[in-house]
Structure 1
């Protein structure tokens, strides 16, 4: 069962009206479809956040506009750069049998052996662009990094088989996560090498 989000049509577009809506706890928004003109609406901030917490960023929402419901997803949103509150939202009207594009968060699971050995975990991709039917969009893409050693990487191609029901729109060679040697280890290694060279040079001079 989809979560319901109540919305109202928005007739005013002046900046002062939008500011007033936000002060009253509402978020100006637009709902549109593949072949539909965008319809300005507004929703309660608290209700939208509740939906996101309960069904995730890519969850299916039953948007109720003046009593008429339609399935949508939160396609995009804008946030205040200071307090990070949502100030505008875009909803996409979806057909449950038609594939759509979505961005899915990448969640790294476990502690890598490389990190336990003093390495540093570097995540290059924090979200992946995918194509899938609405009900098949995962809330997150989980990647087990527990066996990842220093100098090793996990690329997109390595996770495709675990998500065969969706299309991951990235090249197989794109790096998702890697473990690198720590800067301190590199500096210590360089220092030791330099010390050894100095000793060798001194021994050659004495000889």
Structure 2
């Protein structure tokens, strides 16, 4: 059941239990007048151009899409190469009462879905982290985490697209560039995409 509310004069805020899937469907549908779809962990914000449409028309399009939709669009699948050389790998193994190989096995065998992108441009929040690896964020964040760092916190994993402060546990690194302002779209990963990690040396 969707809860749709007016959000300013040119946006609708939708509360849904499956925001990533809804955002994927909305982007695929290319609704008239909609200029952007922004995904949160429990919401989707739909921004529209008042010169082309209005809130009532967009709401009707969304409701029509939901009522007539039996199958979601096929999500984009990404296979992310990862070198498990993270500075927190041994500590994560100890705290989770696992071996390093078991941590790598759990992390690299899971299927992840991009729940949302935020915090930094291109920073993906990936649902699907195995329960055996659930840990709270670090008590003291680091002042600098390198770009490409693959990390975990709570029930999610992520990849730092740029060098920045961060409090997640670093398991490894990827050579992929997650954010390029010249690309279209600029973020490699988007809400609704599926992600698999492939270990490399």
TM range (shorter): under 0.3
Identify the structure with the greater helix proportion: 1
Task: Give the greater-gyration-radius structure (CA).
Answer: 1
TM-score under structure 2 normalisation?
A: 0.27
Structure number with the bigger relative contact order (C-alpha 8 A, sep ≥ 6) is 2
